[in-house]
Chain A
Amino acid sequence: MKQLVILSGKGGTGKTIVSASFASLAQKKVMADCDVDAANLYLLLHPEIQESHKFSGGKKASLKTEKCTLCGECIDICRFSANSEKEDGEIIIDPISCEGCGVCSHICPVEAIEMENSISGEWFVSRTKYGPFVHARLGIGEESSGKLVTEVRKKAKEIAEKNNLDFVFIDGPPGIGCPVIASLSGTDLALIVTEPTLSGIHDMERVVQMAHHFKTQTACCINKYDINLKNSAQIETWCKKNRVPLLGKIPFDDDVTKSVVQGIPLTEYTNNSTSKEIKNMWQKLRNLFAREEIKK
């Protein structure tokens, strides 16, 4: 079983389009949407939810006002500026700023602060016509997106092992921080979807470096490569220099938006040259995996 994560650094380069297409092309696999902040893959896979689980990623400080003596020690100690004093002198703890460290509850001299489990999201196991799908929804403004990603991945891996599947496809979040690291860790390959813009190139370089920092192999593809051929050539050179296989160059294509509006993976929506290029990419990926070039 191989785990493939699809990342990009920059948002909106086409991760989900590629993920959904792979979902429609590959045989024995499970899909996982690890962009738990702003999950979109479900819009193309149309899951039928079979299990849903509440997720509690951490605790939040809760002030028992009847015990509080307004000493203000918790305000001084909080490094996240969550505890503050209102105009009328009452102390409040802002749940959105609270990072759940619990320091205020430890130092409160009258034990007026309790740490309470907070439900910070939900995750689901679903059936789709493409196979099993694990996805999630993080509560607005919540911490611990990384932990929720880990939860989703754990379940996806379990399904793959139990059913003897060949692949886990992970649609990752943008950026290079906490949820991205959680999406990447322990995968066999990170496929970076980039675009030939200065931002796209910069962000791709950072996400590739991040993957290599964590000793994960990478491959790359350029979406909308024909928007700027010069930049696409630059990406190709960079990939060669850094030994990142370039698996495909996807053209700019109005059909991509149309397929999203229809809610159908691109490779199923059309068999045009864009679709063929993605199919080609999938073939190259399979070869990479088959030749055992991808080793942990």
Chain B
Amino acid sequence: MIISVASGKGGTGKTTVAVNLALSLIDSHSVQFLDCDVEEPNAHFFLNIHTLQSKPVFLPVPEIIEEKCTYCGKCAEVCAYNAIAVLKDNVLVFPELCHGCGGCTLLCPEQAIKEKGQKIGVIEYGSENNFQFIHGKLDIGQAMSPPIIREVKKHINTAQTIIIDVPPGTSCPVIEAVKGSDVSLLVTEPTPFGLNDLRLAVETLRILKIPFGVVVNRADIGDRQVQNYCLKENIPVLMTIPMDKNIAVAYSEGKTIIETQPSYKQKFLELFKKLKKLKNETACYFKR
């Protein structure tokens, strides 16, 4: 089963929920943890995987073979991302704009373009007993995170229970990370910001037809609008976590909830049970 933990809004507790859920399961399951927030990966602070192996991620970008190029301009014409400009006797390539689609190389009439790998980040992975950890890290100054997310997700082994930590937002990196999940968890907080971004995340999952439930974090702050919204939209609230300064302090030091308050393990196991049940339910995204 693939469970993705998303939120729309940042800082609502995605990583906290993902990590605690994963660690609650390791006694009984073989777990794979994928941190797909490759711009700002943080789960490793809580998982203490000691030996990480590293592998660079390359994006195929064009390289012009000068002696073959006739400066016809076809490559610039087909590039949808303005990553190539052809001058009178020079071709400029802007690798930071390239999506690696391969169009220029394929369509160059002189075969004057070959692809070279441009390093845009790394993936790092390691395992301990029946727990496997993989995350990606976008290089500083690089813009394109989806290719790294795709690389992380290539490691998915569906024989295991897979937990994906998703980046915030609702655009392409989020889609790349949640695509293919059996079920999603949306972590939110009961504030107008939390509600606004929850609505967007709900819309996203409805488009992708992924069943989902909500975790309300810091449930006793703010107002009741998130809970009312979930009730009205028939979205199951699978867990609530109260505002607890001890949890916040533990988080700041890279400690998990179940480490500091072991009674939470049972709650996360119950959450997992609910997720399994939800996997085959579709009511929540068909009802609008």
The answer to whether A143 and B171 touch across the interface, beta carbons within 8 angstroms, is: yes
**Does chain B have a CB within 8 A of A43?**
yes
B144, B169, B253: the one contacting A37 at CB < 8 Å is B169
Q: Which residues of B contact A40 (CB under 8 A)?
A: 9, 192-193, 196-197
Q: Which residues of B contact A103 (CB under 8 A)?
A: 78, 101-103, 106-107
Q: Which residue of B lies closest to A204 (CB)?
A: B40
- Interface contacts (Cβ under 8 Å), in number, total 195
Q: Which residue of A lies closest to B143 (CB)?
A: A178
**Does chain A have a CB within 8 A of B100?**
yes
**Does chain B have a CB within 8 A of A12?**
yes
Q: Which residues of A contact B196 (CB under 8 A)?
A: 38-40, 43
Which of these binds chain B: A22-30, A93-101, A269-277?
Answer: A93-101
**Does chain B have a CB within 8 A of A10?**
yes
Chain B contact residues, CB within 8 Å of chain A: 8-12, 15, 37, 39-40, 42, 45, 78, 80-81, 99-103, 106-107, 138, 140-145, 167-175, 179, 191-193, 196-197, 200, 203-204, 207-208, 221-223, 245, 248-249, 251-254
Q: What are 5 A-B pairs at a CB distance below 8 A? A: A174-B39, A177-B39, A206-B40, A228-B252, A260-B222
Q: Which of A11, A146, A180 has the most CB of B within 10 A?
A: A11
Q: Which residues of B contact A9 (CB under 8 A)?
A: 39-40
B138, B143, B145, B252: the one contacting A197 at CB < 8 Å is B252
Q: Which residues of B contact A181 (CB under 8 A)?
A: 141, 143
**Does chain B have a CB within 8 A of A290?**
no
**Does chain B have a CB within 8 A of A209?**
yes
In angstroms, Cα B39 to Cα A207, docked, is 9
A101, A138, A143: the one contacting B170 at CB < 8 Å is A138
B37, B171, B221: the one contacting A257 at CB < 8 Å is B221
**Does chain B have a CB within 8 A of A58?**
yes
The answer to whether B9 and A11 touch across the interface, beta carbons within 8 angstroms, is: yes
The answer to whether B207 and A228 touch across the interface, beta carbons within 8 angstroms, is: no
In angstroms, Cα B218 to Cα A261, docked, is 14
Nearest-Cβ distance from residue A218 to partner chain B, whole angstroms: 13
Chain A contact residues, CB within 8 Å of chain B: 8-13, 16, 36-40, 43, 58-59, 77, 79-80, 96-97, 99-103, 106-107, 138, 140-143, 145-146, 173-181, 195-200, 202-203, 206-207, 209-210, 213-214, 224, 227-228, 231, 254, 257, 260-261, 263
**With known contacts A257-B221, A261-B223, A175–B39 Cβ distance under 8 A:** yes
The answer to whether A261 and B222 touch across the interface, beta carbons within 8 angstroms, is: yes
B8, B174, B254: the one contacting A198 at CB < 8 Å is B254
The answer to whether B42 and A43 touch across the interface, beta carbons within 8 angstroms, is: no
The answer to whether B80 and A100 touch across the interface, beta carbons within 8 angstroms, is: yes
In angstroms, Cα B204 to Cα A114, docked, is 26
Other 9 A-B pairs with CB < 8 A, given A38-B196, A103-B102, A106-B78: A37-B8, A40-B9, A141-B171, A141-B175, A177-B145, A202-B42, A227-B245, A228-B249, A260-B222
The answer to whether A260 and B191 touch across the interface, beta carbons within 8 angstroms, is: yes
Q: Which residues of B contact A142 (CB under 8 A)?
A: 171-172
In angstroms, Cα B140 to Cα A210, docked, is 5
In angstroms, Cα B221 to Cα A269, docked, is 17
In angstroms, Cα B179 to Cα A86, docked, is 18
Q: Which of B11, B37, B78 has the most CB of A within 10 A?
A: B11
